């Protein structure tokens, strides 16, 4: 982002708007993407999402002004937006209940892995070939991945369990989104996901600029330092999935709420850290706790909702995360400009989001009784057949 802002001559506020434009499109596509996955299958939605991601990555390298970049990044978000809800539905189709947190943690960890690779790779590419060529190269790799998915990604729908066709039909909704919106726990998860991702997007989008402008580091050093918390986050993500599959229902949300409060304290310490090593150490702990909280929220609907609702449910929940992606970078940009380049107000805002996340998790209700009976019978059947629901 530093290379783009310098080339296009963007202010902090304009940079915030640019960062948010992608998430605006991405957020708008979450609910439609989940519906399309439930209606037409996750394979088709995933293929289209990855293809559109690749095309708009290439087009990003062709942007000539702030306006053109905003439009491209907005359409970029629209194109990619169906990936997460359709991927969630794929996990619900392939994995039994007691393995879905681990499956989700692997899916989320792919993003954490790129969080390690991207800062290092992008800084080297920007300094060697420029940011435009960098986007061309990454987009070409995406097109190759799309072709591989076309040949190797398969659709696999859950079969009706013996003796349960009537019960399945009784809970299968005619209006998936309406049914999702009537589930109180989904609203809590939406708010919690919004809050925790407000922290995540705030740190990911602005910490490189903060380290350069407020801490005086060069771009290469920032690239390596930014990779450290992301690398730690990979292990946190994978470990969190294993732990969550072992925790009793309800205890997982309590633990995540406590970690959200601790995260708020760590964010305060980050803002007042006296040295770069301490700053990075606090950020690493924030990354580990973020991994646990985000994995819990993303896998909760996979465990508590019928398979027919998973795409719509996670599409709605993830809308909260993407709305945070729209608002947080812009808010931080405006705050930095308003306070003369100081980031103190931005850190205070992130602490408040941590408290909001904790409150949403502490007050989350149990899953609906209508779904609980079906899920219990499904789990019993899985156990009797060796742990498979397909």
**Dist. CA 93–CA 95, nearest whole Å:** 6
Residue 170 or 100, more confident: 100
* ∠ CA 358-359-362, rounded to 5°: 85
pLDDT for the residue numbered 322: 81
- 30-39, 43-52, 336-345: which has the highest mean pLDDT? 43-52
pLDDT at 378 over 60: no
pLDDT for the residue numbered 175: 55
The per-residue DSSP string of 337-387 comes to HHTTT--HHHHHHHHHHHHHHHHHHHTPPPPPHHHHHHHHHHHHHHHHTTS
User: In the numeric block, which tokens belong to residue 249?
Assistant: 């229902």
User: In the numeric block, which tokens belong to residue 230?
Assistant: 């992301």
Confidence of residue 115 (pLDDT cuts 50, 70, 90): low
Domains, the chain: 2-153+175-379 (1.20.1250.20)
Residue 309 or 283, more confident: 283
pLDDT for the residue numbered 89: 86
Residue 47's CB: how many other CB atoms inside 10 A? 18
User: Mean of the pLDDT values across residues 128-154?
Assistant: 87
Smallest CA-to-CA distance from 14 within 91, 57, 83, 73 is with 73
pLDDT at 167 over 60: no
Q: What is the pLDDT of residues 328-356, one digit of tens each?
A: 888 888 898 888 888 889 999 999 999 99
pLDDT at 386 over 80: no
Secondary structure of 168-220 as H, E, C letters = HHHHCCCCHHHHHHCCHHHHHHHHHHHHHHHHHHHHHHHHHHHHHHCCCCCHH
Q: What percent of the chain is modeled with pLDDT above 90?
A: 22
pLDDT at 91 over 80: yes
pLDDT for the residue numbered 171: 47
Report the range of poorest mean pLDDT among 31-40, 50-59, 183-192.
Answer: 31-40
Residue 371's CB: how many other CB atoms inside 10 A? 16
pLDDT at 69 over 90: no
pLDDT at 158 over 70: no
pLDDT for the residue numbered 48: 93
Burial (0-12, 13-18, 19+ Cβ within 10 Å), 265: middle
**Dist. CA 282–CA 271, nearest whole Å:** 10
Q: Report how far apart, in Å, the C-alpha atoms of 100 and of each of 65, 91, 247, 261 are.
A: 43, 7, 13, 26
pLDDT at 359 over 90: yes
pLDDT at 376 over 50: no
Is 90 within 8 Å of 42 (Cβ atoms)? yes
pLDDT for the residue numbered 133: 85
Is 75 within 8 Å of 25 (Cβ atoms)? yes
Is 317 within 8 Å of 361 (Cβ atoms)? no
Residue 187's CB: how many other CB atoms inside 10 A? 18
pLDDT at 235 over 80: yes
Residue 39 or 174, more confident: 39
Residues 44, 46, 49, 54: is their CA dihedral positive or negative? negative
Q: Report how far apart, in Å, the C-alpha atoms of 28 and of each of 22, 135, 220, 316 are.
A: 10, 24, 35, 10
pLDDT at 374 over 50: no
Q: Report how far apart, in Å, the C-alpha atoms of 204 and of each of 115, 261, 298 are.
A: 9, 20, 19
Confidence of residue 358 (pLDDT cuts 50, 70, 90): very high
User: Mean of the pLDDT values across residues 308-320?
Assistant: 85
Residues contacting 204, CB < 8 A, separation 6+? 115
Confidence of residue 288 (pLDDT cuts 50, 70, 90): very high
Mean pLDDT (the chain, rounded): 81
**Dist. CA 295–CA 15, nearest whole Å:** 29
User: Mean of the pLDDT values across residues 276-296?
Assistant: 92
pLDDT for the residue numbered 1: 56
- 129-143, 145-159, 167-181, 343-357: which has the highest mean pLDDT? 343-357
């Amino acid at each position: 982002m530093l290379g783009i802002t310098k080339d296009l001559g963007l202010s902090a506020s304009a940079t915030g708007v640019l960062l948010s434009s992608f998430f605006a499109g991405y957020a708008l596509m979450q609910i439609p993407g989940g519906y399309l996955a439930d209606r037409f299958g996750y394979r088709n939605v995933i293929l289209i999402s990855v293809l559109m991601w690749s095309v708009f990555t290439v087009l990003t390298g062709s942007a000539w002004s702030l306006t053109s970049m905003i439009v491209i990044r907005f359409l970029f978000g629209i194109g990619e937006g169906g990936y997460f809800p359709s991927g969630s539905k794929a996990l619900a189709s392939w994995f039994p209940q007691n393995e879905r947190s681990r499956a989700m943690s692997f899916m989320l960890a792919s993003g954490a892995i790129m969080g390690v690779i991207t800062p290092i790779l992008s800084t080297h590419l920007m300094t060697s070939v420029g940011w435009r060529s960098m986007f061309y190269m990454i987009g070409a790799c995406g097109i190759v991945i799309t072709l591989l998915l076309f040949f190797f990604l398969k659709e696999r729908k859950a079969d009706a369990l013996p003796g349960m066709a009537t019960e399945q039909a009784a809970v299968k909704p005619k209006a998936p989104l309406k049914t999702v919106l009537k589930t109180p726990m989904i609203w809590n998860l939406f708010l919690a996901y919004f809050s925790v991702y407000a922290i995540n997007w705030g740190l990911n989008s602005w910490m490189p600029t903060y380290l350069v402008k407020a801490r005086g580091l060069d771009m290469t050093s920032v690239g390596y330092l930014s990779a450290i918390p992301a690398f730690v986050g990979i292990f946190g993500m994978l470990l969190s999935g294993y732990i969550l599959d072992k925790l009793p229902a309800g205890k997982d949300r309590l633990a995540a709420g406590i970690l959200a409060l601790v995260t708020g304290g760590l964010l305060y310490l980050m803002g007042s850290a006296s040295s770069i090593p301490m700053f990075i150490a606090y950020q690493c702990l924030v990354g580990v706790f973020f991994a646990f909280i985000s994995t819990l929220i993303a896998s909760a609907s996979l465990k508590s909702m019928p398979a027919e609702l998973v795409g719509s449910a996670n599409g709605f929940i993830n809308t909260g995360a993407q709305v945070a992606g729209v608002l947080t970078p812009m808010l931080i940009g405006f705050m930095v400009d308003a306070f003369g380049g100081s980031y103190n107000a931005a850190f205070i805002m992130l602490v408040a989001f941590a408290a909001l996340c904790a409150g949403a998790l502490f007050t989350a209700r149990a899953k609906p009784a209508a779904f609980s009976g079906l899920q219990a019978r499904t789990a019993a059947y899985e156990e009797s057949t060796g742990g498979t629901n397909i």
